[in-house]
Structure 1
Amino acid sequence: MLFKVEMDVNVPPDVDPARFEQLKAAEKARFQELQRAGTWRHIWRVVGRYSNVSIFDVADNGELHDLLTGLPLYPFMDIRVTALCRHPSSIHEDDR
């Protein structure tokens, strides 16, 4: 199943900067692992904000939930999820 996921990262002012840098590095490593696996298919930065719009390809809602809540930056995120389905006019057969 495909999902559009919008993530806004909200960093509290009292977060230790060194700890936050560690979390960002862990988040990047996890993202790249999921991208290589084909699970995190696309990511786009939202201009001017600490936000992204991503496309995930997972088996079901539960898998997406577990994946998102396991992200290192999850405690700092506001997340919006939209389920997607293939448009009948799409020329891409892998849009399932």
Structure 2
Amino acid sequence: MAWISLIIAGIFEMFGVLMIHKVHQNPNVNTVILLMFGFTGSFLFLALAMRSLPMGTSYAVWTGIGASGAAIMGMIIYGESRNWKRVLFIALILTATIGLKLTS
């Protein structure tokens, strides 16, 4: 259950990052509320996961999901660079995240 909470926390983190971008594009109350919802959900599910997972592993996986997920969503939604080096390093983040899961 802790790993599911951690994955949900990462998804909320990606949503929060997308909302930061939306706030910069079109600042309004609804977007700010969605931004707060995303990061609140992210921290709540991270806290749930950390009840039974080590802090270092939880934080590393959470940031890995958030960082790589946001980069991938930026490529898909906003047409950001798909340079092979960028994709390689995103893959390294995901590989390290999976490695932490396998060793915990």
- TMscore range, shorter length: 0.3 to 0.5
TM-score normalised per structure 2: 0.35
Q: Greater strand share, 1 or 2? A: 1
Higher relative contact order at CA 8 Å, sep ≥6: structure 1 or structure 2? 1
TM-score normalised per structure 1: 0.38
